[in-house]
Amino acid sequence: MSALLKIEGLSKVYDDDSAELAVIDNLNMTVEQGEFLCILGPSGCGKTTLLRCIAGFERCTGRILVNGEQITGPGTDRIMVFQDFNQLFPWLTVEKNIQFGLKRQGIRDREQLARITADVLKKVRMHGYGRHYPYQLSGGMKQRVAIARALALKPSIILMDEPFAALDAITRNTLQQEVLAISREENCTFIFITHNIQEGIVLGTRLMLMEPGGRIAIDIRNPIARPVSPSSPGYGALWDRLYAALYDTQRGNPV
């Protein structure tokens, strides 16, 4: 069985007039169906760029294949959940935001749309908020709706770029638990970027650590059985290992 996502010789250079800056240099990796991949790394290591390349927002060299087919741009098989709370369209209600992509896919039947909407809203515990406009929601609620909007389209991969980084610690923990629950129910692959080690260990079935220049320093299967808590056996050792690696890469980072 071939991998769900296959990246071959990916390079991305930001052409900044004066200097060329290679953010990612000849990166190769694969992601299997059903994996929850957490990518850790210091700021500027290229993890967001990698995610944006996979989403199809960036021009890059090399090949990115999803289900064996090379991608050419953004698509509904790879839905991005951004860090910014303002990713929902403010001119649409919560339910219209969720149905937006579905309608583009040609689903016109009202009942079907309503059923899918209710279903995904329930999954993110936002049922009853369908008629609200985004500005009426808190940051955490907006991120939940953004996840629901992604789930509704049944993508092959959900790409999450530090979606909880701007949330308070309590909301963040709650949302981690919900995403974890969703990932176990849905037959969906996640690539989740974070610089929070705890978040990575709690959510990821696989953990990856990137160094500046887009090199992969660590790529391991998460050895701790779910559900993970700080008291789970092995948590401390794994945390220490990732922390040391992260600290190391950060020290090597000129920025």
What does the binding site for other proteins look like in residue numbers (CB under 8 A)? Answer: 55-57, 73-76, 78-80, 82, 84, 86-92, 100-101, 104-105, 133-136, 149, 153
Residue 212 makes CB contacts below 8 A (sequence gap 6+) with 42, 44, 45, 46, 249, 252, 253, 254, 255
Q: Could you please report the per-residue DSSP string of the chain?
A: ---SEEEEEEEEEEEETTEEEEEEEEEEEEE-TT-EEEEE--TTSSHHHHHHHHHT-S--EEEEEETTEE--S-BTTEEEE-SSGGGS-TTS-HHHHHHHHHHHTT---HHHHHHHHHHHHHHTT-TT-TT--GGGS-HHHHHHHHHHHHHHT--SEEEEESTTTTS-HHHHHHHHHHHHHHHHHS--EEEEE-S-HHHHHHH-SEEEEEETTTEEEEEEE--SPSSP-TTSTTHHHHHHHHHHHHHHHHHH---
Nearer to other proteins, 73 or 254 (CB): 73
Nearer to other proteins, 152 or 228 (CB): 152
Nearer to other proteins, 40 or 150 (CB): 150
Residue 153 CB, nearest approach to other proteins (Å): 7
Residue 61 CB, nearest approach to other proteins (Å): 21
Residue type, 165: A
Distance CA 246, CA 47 (A): 13
Residue 135 CB, nearest approach to other proteins (Å): 3
Nearer to other proteins, 97 or 249 (CB): 97
Residue 238 CB, nearest approach to other proteins (Å): 33
Distance CA 159, CA 79 (A): 6
Residue 122 CB, nearest approach to other proteins (Å): 21
Nearer to other proteins, 136 or 229 (CB): 136
Nearer to other proteins, 6 or 52 (CB): 52
Residue 35 CB, nearest approach to other proteins (Å): 21
Residue 188 CB, nearest approach to other proteins (Å): 16
Nearer to other proteins, 11 or 87 (CB): 87
